[in-house]
Amino acid sequence: MVTVVRAYEISISDLRLPRFSSGTISFKDCVACDLQVIRVTDATRYVLNGKNMPLDEFKVAIKSIHNKDTNISTVMHHLESDTVTEVMVVRK
């Protein structure tokens, strides 16, 4: 079996979103883990509570979440292309 996509669950407080749609996203998978820096593309999807949205709207929505330590994001990392395909957050 070949792993195609790896999912990371990260608290929003440990997630650094890209400045631009073709930039990079960074996060620490755990306290002792190295910083992960993975490329995003124009095709990367940003999803909040099941709703797709542009990166700029997603960043505004994430910034307004007060409990960033308890809200979890899921980052989908496509291993072959070494890009993030999706960032999902379900707001509590």
The answer to pTM > 0.85 is yes
For 2-48, how does the pLDDT look when each residue is reduced to its tens digit (9 = 90+)?
779 999 999 999 999 999 999 999 998 888 889 999 999 999 999 99
Q: Enumerate the domain spans of the chain.
A: 5-85
Asked if 17 contacts 86 with a C-beta cutoff of 8 angstroms, the reply is no
For 45-73, how does the pLDDT look when each residue is reduced to its tens digit (9 = 90+)?
999 999 999 999 999 999 999 888 899 99
User: Which two structure tokens, joined as six digits, stand for 49?
Assistant: 């509570």
User: Which two structure tokens, joined as six digits, stand for 91?
Assistant: 């707001």
